[in-house]
Amino acid sequence: MTRVTIIETGLVSPKNRELHGSYPQMFARMIGAADATVTFDTVSIPSGEPLPDVEGLEAILITGSAAGVYDGFDWIAPLEAFVRAAHQSKVPMVGVCFGHQLIAQALGGTARKSEKGWGLGRHVYDVAAGNGVIDGRHIALACSHQDQVITPPAGATTILSSDFTPYAGLLYAGGTTLSVQAHPEFSVGFAQACCEMVRSKGDAPDSVVTPAEASLAEPLESARLGGAITRFLTRSA
């Protein structure tokens, strides 16, 4: 039995939290569907909770956030130091969306707002052969992001990629740290809500948002990546 420490770096709006849950709740559902024995601790950075000591942690998952890793928030540098300590200590660690970008930046890569604009809806990613984490040749996942990893850290292997997001999944040197840009924890309903939020804020034109919403009528393969992440976090237990 593994205890996963979820680092909550962003908050779902009250309305959507009532409908779809918080990010930690989404991840707990995703992981619980693959392994019902996993238990969870949550550390909420937006609530002002301090980061735990890496020593003694069994596995770590870093959530998405509306923040950018380049923003000047006072909690980003300590979180990067936490990531480096966990990586050096070989604690199994996974980052998703903001967590993906934060881990890449903390370990020497670069992430920023992409000139490609918003990635929304259902995207299909190529899966690198023989990566040891997830099988298959392609995988369809929900995404919601403007920021991307632009330059991976030295020693990182790209395991998921697309034309829109070349570094959509990274396995880092040492093999105990993994990060992905897309959202295997999202339900179709929450992925649709993300499209609507972008539309309501005027962040992207209808020519981007409408096809993204329509794409969510096609099947997502979230459970396949969710299962791979669960195995990754629990394999040393």
pLDDT band for 237, please (50, 70, 90 cuts).
Answer: very low
Name the CATH superfamily, with its identifier, for domain 3-234: Class I glutamine amidotransferase (GATase) domain (3.40.50.880)
**Whether 83 contacts 93, CB under 8 Å:** yes
Residue 235's pLDDT is what?
A: 86
Q: Can you give the pTM of this predicted structure? A: 0.97
Residue 2 predicted with pLDDT over 80: yes
Take residue 91 and report the two structure tokens written for it.
């604690």
Percent of the chain beyond pLDDT 70?
Answer: 99
Helix ranges restricted to H, 21-132: 23-34, 76-88, 98-106
Beta-carbon contacts of residue 205 (< 8 Å; ≥ 6 apart):
none
pLDDT computed for residue 78 by the predictor: 98
At residue 9, the 3 state secondary structure works out as coil
Residue ranges of the domains in the chain? 3-234
